[in-house]
């Protein structure tokens, strides 16, 4: 019945198509997977009203000390030696807990690829809302080609594609993971840096001065993100990171005072 009908001026085609799809496939809550009935009551439309009570928001994180910072002033670590840190700041939409663990495992291991659209859009909102970083390009953290073949997809690339779409900028692989590694979650926090040393190389398409948003699913010690950022930074890019969830160790939480101040964020 819609064939041949013109899209009204100023109203993109995908807008009403998405609305129509929404009637048949209403959004499901990321945590409990129940349908979100009344979107106006849900946090950012992605969590139902009861699950939203458990949501711990993220924000901007200093990659050096692991603490949260606001726009003014930024973390003192960044003011001291901004050029020495390949990763300028990290954006996250949440603090990691068992609910986010399930969301990420669904996306990563249980083929719930539909969550990538929601999470990518949410992540993009975090970037534009902060007004702190204006990227030219979104770049996913790559998987080794054998790992990607085995899984069938790279969850970080799915997130990156949707975030880029919402930010209205391109998404491009600028890194290759040329060494297979043990899963970071399978080894101790102390050994993770060594595990990812020199595992990434550039595709050679980096333009000096580019502002790049590197996308991954989780940030824990930051070893993977920092290693990838170092390759891009070495070729002249300014690099920011963005993840779904931040999982700081208890030591970092205590050191930064964040543990006690959870309610303030
Ligand atoms: Zn729910
Ligand atoms: Zn800091």
> Please, what is the average pLDDT of the chain?
82
Cα-Cα-Cα-Cα torsion 78, 81, 82, 88, nearest 10 degrees, comes to -50
Nearest one of 196, 175, 108, 198 to 148, comparing CA atoms? 108
pLDDT of residue 181: 80
Question: At 256, phi and psi to the nearest 5?
Answer: -90, -5
Among the ranges given (53-67, 180-194, 216-230), the one the predictor scored with the smallest mean pLDDT: 180-194
**Alpha carbon of 256 to ligand 2 centroid (Å):** 9
Mean pLDDT, residues 12-41 taken together = 65
Distance 83 CA to ligand 2 centre (A): 14
Note the pTM of the prediction, 2 decimals: 0.84
Ligand 2 centroid–CA 65 distance in Å is 4
Selection from 1-15, 138-152, 179-193 with the highest mean pLDDT: 138-152
Rounded to the nearest angstrom, the distance between the alpha carbon of 32 and the centre of ligand 1 is 4
pLDDT at 14 over 80: no
| 203, pLDDT greater than 70 | yes
What pLDDT score was predicted for residue 57? 85
Confidence grade of residue 73 (pLDDT, cut at 50, 70, 90): low
* Residue 236 CA to ligand 2 centre (angstroms): 22
pLDDT, residue 45, reads 72
State the distance from the centre of ligand 2 to the C-alpha of 66, rounded, in angstroms: 6
Q: What's the 223 CA to ligand 1 centre distance in angstroms?
A: 32
- Cα–ligand 1 centroid distance for 181 (angstroms): 35
Contact 244, 155 (CB under 8 A): no
**Alpha carbon of 238 to ligand 1 centroid (Å):** 37
Ligand nearest to the CA of 66: 2
- Taking only the tens place, the pLDDT of each residue in 77-107 is 767 666 678 999 999 999 898 999 999 999 9
Q: What is the CATH number of domain 56-264?
A: 3.40.50.2020
C-alpha of residue 166 to centroid of ligand 1, in Å: 24
Residue 7 has pLDDT above 60, yes or no: no
Whether the pLDDT of residue 248 is over 80: the answer is yes
Residue 38 CB coordination number (10 Å):
8
Is the pLDDT at 191 greater than 60? The verdict is yes
Characterize 106-137 residue by residue with b for buried, 16 or more Cβ atoms within 10 angstroms of its Cβ, and e for exposed.
bbbeeebeebbbbbbbbbbebbeeeebbebeb
Q: How far is Cα 160 from Cα 10, in angstroms, rounded to an integer?
A: 27
What is the pLDDT, as a whole number, of residue 59? 87
Could you give phi then psi for residue 91, rounded to 5 degrees?
-110, 135
Q: What confidence score (pLDDT) does residue 202 get?
A: 94
Q: Is the pLDDT at 264 greater than 60, yes or no?
A: no
Q: In the structure, what pLDDT confidence band is assigned to residue 256 with cuts at 50, 70 and 90? A: low
Instruction: Indicate the pLDDT class of residue 46, thresholds 50, 70 and 90.
Output: confident
**74 CA to middle of ligand 2, Å?**
8
Q: Which chain residues have CB less than 5 Å from ligand 2, an ion?
A: 62, 64-65, 75, 77
What residue spans define the domains of the chain?
13-55, 56-264
Structure tokens at 5: 């009908």
Q: Does residue 182 surpass a pLDDT of 90?
A: no
Between residues 256 and 213, which one has the greater pLDDT?
A: 213
For ligand 2, the distance from its centroid to the CA atom of residue 79, given in whole angstroms, is 9
Residues with CB under 5 A from ligand 1 (ion): 29, 31-32, 48, 51
pLDDT of residue 6: 35
| Span 149-174, average pLDDT | 95
Q: What is residue 53's predicted lDDT score, i.e. its pLDDT?
A: 86
Question: Which bound ligand lies closest to the C-alpha atom of 75?
Answer: 2
- Residue with the bigger pLDDT between 22 and 91: it is 91
Question: Using 50, 70 and 90 to split pLDDT, how confident is the model at 194?
Answer: confident
């Amino acid at each position: 019945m819609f064939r041949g009908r013109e899209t009204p001026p100023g109203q993109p085609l995908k807008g009403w198509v998405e609305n129509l799809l929404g009637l048949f496939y209403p959004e499901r809550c990321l945590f409990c997977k129940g349908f979100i009935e009344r979107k106006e009551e849900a946090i950012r439309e992605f969590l139902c009203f009861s699950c939203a009570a458990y949501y711990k928001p993220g924000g901007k994180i200093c990659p050096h000390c692991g603490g949260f910072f606001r726009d003014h002033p930024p973390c003192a670590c960044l003011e001291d030696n901004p050029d020495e840190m390949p990763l300028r700041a990290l954006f996250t939409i949440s603090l990691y807990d068992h609910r986010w663990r399930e969301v990420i495992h669904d996306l990563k291991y249980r083929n719930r690829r539909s969550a990538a659209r929601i999470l990518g859009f949410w992540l993009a909102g975090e970037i534009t809302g902060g007004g702190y970083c204006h990227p030219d390009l979104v770049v996913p953290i790559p998987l080794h080609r054998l790992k990607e073949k085995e899984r069938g997809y790279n969850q970080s690339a799915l997130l990156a594609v949707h975030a880029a779409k919402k930010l209205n900028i391109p998404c491009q692989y600028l890194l290759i993971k040329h060494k297979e590694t043990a899963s970071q979650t399978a080894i101790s926090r102390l050994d993770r840096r060594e595990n990812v040393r020199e595992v990434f190389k550039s595709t050679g398409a980096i333009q000096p001065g580019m502002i790049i948003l590197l996308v991954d699913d989780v940030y824990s010690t930051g070893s993977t993100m920092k290693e990838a950022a170092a390759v891009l930074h070495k070729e002249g890019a300014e690099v920011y990171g963005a993840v779904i969830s931040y999982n700081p160790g208890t030591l970092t939480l205590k050191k930064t005072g964040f543990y006690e101040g959870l309610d303030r964020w």
